[in-house]
Amino acid sequence: MISSATFHVITTELVVGSFAMAGICFLVLAIQSFGLFESEKASLISDNAGHFALGFGLLATPFAIFSGISSSPTSDLSSPLLVNKMFLSMIATGLALAVLFTRYKMGNKLWNSKSNSRIQSAAGLAASGFMLMTASAGGKFSRGESVLDFLNLPYDTIFLMPTWASGIILLAGVGSAIIAVMNLSKSSTIEH
């Protein structure tokens, strides 16, 4: 049987590789949305490969998280680096889910509008970027160095909001979810 540390390395590489591939594909789609490069074949491949890689990375993420927790040398879950990793990975997961859901609901017509394609490719790039920052924080935690050391990111500082700001964001999120569900139910009753 393989150790949790080895399994963590495997799953982390799956997540990082998938999100990096998705990031490249969404970068190509972003460049195309600004008209700097036109290719129907590249657009089709980037669309399919980017969304598939994003989905695969999302499926591998829980395995990386749980194997990382179980292979942590101190099992000290109060480390600022680990808290920042959690924040970054949750942001990346939320963005990735939104990108995949939008692509699923809108289909190929998503790319017919320049504004929609720019928003979709920007959200895909952001999801990839946040997940790669998560991996960089993991390198800082386990090895004391990361690929993004030249940016001097404050991994040891936890940015927490005051309770009132957290409450406003929570209410806004719940309100957005209710509106989205109501719009989905309206659109499904119209289609039938």
Q: Is it the case that residue 190 has pLDDT exceeding 50?
A: no
Mean per-residue pLDDT, 65-94? 74
Give the pLDDT of residue 111.
81
Longest Cα–Cα distance of the chain, Å, equals 57
Ranges 15-19, 57-61, 131-135, 173-177: which has the least confidence: 173-177
Per the model's pLDDT, the better-predicted residue between 19 and 166 turns out to be 19
3-state helix/strand/coil string of the chain: CCCHHHHHHHHHHHHHHHHHHHHHHHHHHHHHHCCCCCCHHHHHHHHHHHHHHHHHHHHHHHHHHHHHHHHCCCCCCCCHHHHHHHHHHHHHHHHHHHHHHHHHHHHHHHHHCHHHHHHHHHHHHHHHHHHHHHHHHHHHHHHCCCCCHHHCCCCCCCCCCCHHHHHHHHHHHHHHHHHHHHHHHHHHHHHC
